[in-house]
């Protein structure tokens, strides 16, 4: 009798082991993503190892905008409603990786989800992708809310989703069964859990297009810190020519300088987006390529220049540019020019005077916990810090960085030269149509007939447009000359 029970227990354990290994092989086994020698493709579509944490089965992700078109924020144009760029022939938009776990392709965001820019020089022009640029149009929070709403919708069932999948995909029977009985129910549960994790965002001001609260999610989910009510809403930073930054020797990264090392910044960003030490071995190669890309990739040159016909909206006057260059050297170069004494240093918030919510979001406790993150793997972090201000950044690609300041609270370069108390209190964000007069992108309602824009209210917490009063006391002719020169960056 005892032998019989022992055999039954042994057979049960073997069955559990076989089923576990089978489930791992079918659903979780890491499969290398296809290699590419195109560094821009790797940055735009390379896997950062977050498929287990954030990956959605491809065909579920693909049909969600069809099944739940009424939950999209605009005119039902699929994922384009969230400001994503979609290259011709690509299976996923810029900022998403497609990678297989087990036997099922997954879709998950990567670094380019936030760090992608675009521009148009005229309303009818097609948008031009700017890899690693400031995410002017991307609305991350709207995408997260769409996933949450779909996951809580009664239509998130196989009976509603499989007919749509079957219309566009000729899946084998075993894969259809896997989707019907396992993947669709499991994805619905995962989306509900994600909605719960992001519930803390609802009482706070919306991020809006081109902005994100990048570190509160890390504080609460990864680092296990309690909700402290802070607001980290800030613009998505461009990642250009970072080798030039590293060549300065000592430098600070992120708006508030919370890191002082580019490599650690890249790795920490992947962790914050769902990579773990288990997925790191396969993700490491692509992440290294992405890091190399942002070290060398430069933005397109400014379309504003001398020598164009005088009726061209991008034409500049040579004499005015020369005067603006001299004014820049007097007014701005110390903080923003190559060789400037304060370039890439942290300027105390009491001096610069800009909205301090983003600064207060990052805490000394978060610094300590991220430095010691995951005791099962030594990430080697030693450059996290808590600062008292914001970083004076270089002005590379300034014409593509609007709106301005760390929280995107000033709509144009011209508005940056207006006294803070006189700056526009409300404007519209989300356009990538270049503003030829003021610099940056157009920001009045209806100025861009081809983009859905969002009202930005500087009275909301974290949205303040105060501070950075440098150059605002210049005479009007000098401001015009300085503005002309700034357009050339």
Name the token pair of 119. 């521009």
Banded pLDDT at 386 (limits 50, 70, 90)? very high
Q: How far is CA 121 from CA 395, 400, 418, 435, in A?
A: 20, 11, 25, 8
Which pLDDT belongs to residue 23? 46
Each residue of 108-120: pLDDT tens digit?
999 999 999 999 9
Return the half-sphere exposure (C-beta side, CA atoms, 13 A cut-off) of residue 262.
23
| Residue 53, Cβ density class (10 Å: 0-12 exposed, 13-18 middle, ≥19 buried) | middle
Query: What gap in Å lies between CA 354 and CA 469, rounded to an integer?
Result: 9
The DSSP bridge pattern shows strands 315-316 and 305-306 to be parallel
Which pTM value belongs to this model?
Answer: 0.92
Banded pLDDT at 37 (limits 50, 70, 90)? confident
Q: Evaluate whether 443 touches 414 at the Cβ level (below 8 Å).
A: no
* DSSP notation for 362-377: S-HHHHHHHHT--TTS
Which pLDDT belongs to residue 22? 44
Which pLDDT belongs to residue 487? 98
Helix (H, G, I), strand (E, B) or coil at 96: strand
Which pLDDT belongs to residue 434? 98
Banded pLDDT at 65 (limits 50, 70, 90)? very high
Q: What number of helices (H) and strands (E) belong to the chain?
A: 19, 13
Which pLDDT belongs to residue 255? 97
Closest CA to 334 of 321, 316, 351, 322: 351
Radius of gyration of the chain (CA): 24
Closest CA to 217 of 430, 47, 79, 54: 54
Q: How far is CA 355 from CA 31, 97, 256, 345, 393, in A?
A: 45, 35, 12, 18, 17
Each residue of 87-133: pLDDT tens digit?
888 889 999 999 998 889 999 999 999 999 999 999 999 999 999 99
User: For residue 165, what is the DSSP state?
Assistant: H
| Domain segments of the chain as ranges | 1-28, 305-344+394-486
Each residue of 430-446: pLDDT tens digit?
999 999 999 999 999 99
Q: Evaluate whether 239 touches 333 at the Cβ level (below 8 Å).
A: no
Neighbouring CB atoms inside 10 A of 224's CB total 8
Helix (H, G, I), strand (E, B) or coil at 277: coil
Residue 19 pLDDT > 70, yes or no? no
Query: What gap in Å lies between CA 451 and CA 123, rounded to an integer?
Result: 10
Name the token pair of 42. 């790797």
In sequence order, the 6+-apart residues with CB closer than 8 A to the CB of 365 are 225
More confident residue, 20 or 138: 138
Closest CA to 45 of 286, 321, 288: 286
Query: What gap in Å lies between CA 467 and CA 232, rounded to an integer?
Result: 17
Each residue of 298-327: pLDDT tens digit?
999 999 999 999 999 999 999 999 999 999
Alpha helices (runs of H) in 247-317, residue ranges in sequence order: 262-272, 280-296
Residue 355 region by backbone torsions, left for phi larger than 0, else alpha for psi between -120 and 50, else beta: beta
Which pLDDT belongs to residue 1? 53
């Amino acid at each position: 009798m005892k032998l019989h029970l022992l055999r039954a227990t042994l057979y049960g354990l073997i069955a559990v082991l076989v089923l576990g290994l089978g489930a791992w092989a079918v659903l979780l086994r890491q499969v290398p993503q296809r290699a590419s020698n195109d560094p821009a493709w790797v940055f735009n579509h390379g896997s950062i190892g977050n498929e287990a944490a954030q990956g959605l089965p491809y065909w579920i992700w693909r049909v969600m905008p069809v099944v739940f078109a009424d939950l999209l924020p605009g005119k039902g144009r699929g994922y384009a409603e969230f400001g994503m760029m979609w290259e011709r022939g690509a299976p996923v938009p810029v900022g998403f990786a497609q990678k297989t776990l087990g036997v099922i392709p997954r879709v998950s965001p990567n670094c380019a989800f936030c760090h992608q820019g675009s521009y148009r020089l005229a309303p009818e022009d097609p948008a031009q992708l700017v890899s690693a640029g400031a995410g002017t149009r991307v609305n991350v929070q709207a995408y997260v809310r769409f996933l949450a709403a779909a996951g809580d919708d009664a239509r998130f069932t196989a009976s509603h989703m499989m007919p749509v999948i079957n219309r566009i995909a000729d899946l084998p029977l075993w894969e259809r069964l896997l989707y019907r009985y396992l993947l669709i129910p499991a994805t619905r549960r995962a989306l509900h859990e994600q909605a719960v994790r992001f519930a803390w965002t609802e009482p706070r001001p919306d991020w809006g297009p081109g902005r994100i609260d990048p570190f509160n999610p890390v504080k609460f989910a990864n680092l296990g810190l309690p909700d402290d009510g802070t607001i980290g809403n800030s613009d998505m930073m461009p990642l250009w020519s970072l080798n030039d930054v590293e060549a300065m020797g000592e430098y600070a990264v992120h708006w508030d300088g919370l890191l002082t090392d580019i490599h650690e910044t890249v790795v920490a960003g992947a962790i914050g987006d769902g990579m773990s030490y288990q997925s790191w071995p396969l993700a490491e190669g692509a992440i290294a390529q992405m890091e190399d890309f942002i070290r060398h990739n430069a933005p397109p040159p400014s379309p504003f220049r001398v020598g164009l016909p005088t009726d061209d909206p991008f034409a500049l006057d040579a004499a005015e540019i020369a005067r603006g260059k001299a004014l820049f050297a007097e007014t701005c170069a110390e903080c923003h020019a190559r060789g400037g004494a304060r370039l890439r240093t942290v300027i105390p918030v009491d001096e610069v005077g800009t909205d301090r919510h983003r600064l207060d979001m990052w805490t000394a406790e978060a610094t300590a916990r991220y430095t010691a993150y995951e005791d099962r793997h030594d990430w080697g972090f030693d450059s996290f810090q808590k600062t008292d201000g914001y970083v004076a950044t270089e002005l590379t690609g300034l014409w593509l960085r609007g709106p301005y300041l760390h929280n995107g609270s000033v709509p144009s370069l011209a508005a940056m030269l207006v006294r803070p108390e006189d700056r526009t209190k409300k404007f519209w964000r989300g356009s990538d149509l270049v503003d030829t007069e003021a610099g940056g992108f157009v920001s009045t309602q209806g100025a861009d007939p081809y983009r859905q824009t969002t009202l930005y209210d500087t009275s909301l917490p974290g949205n303040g447009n105060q501070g950075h009063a440098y150059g605002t006391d210049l005479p009007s002719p000098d401001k015009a000359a300085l503005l002309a020169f700034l357009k050339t960056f």
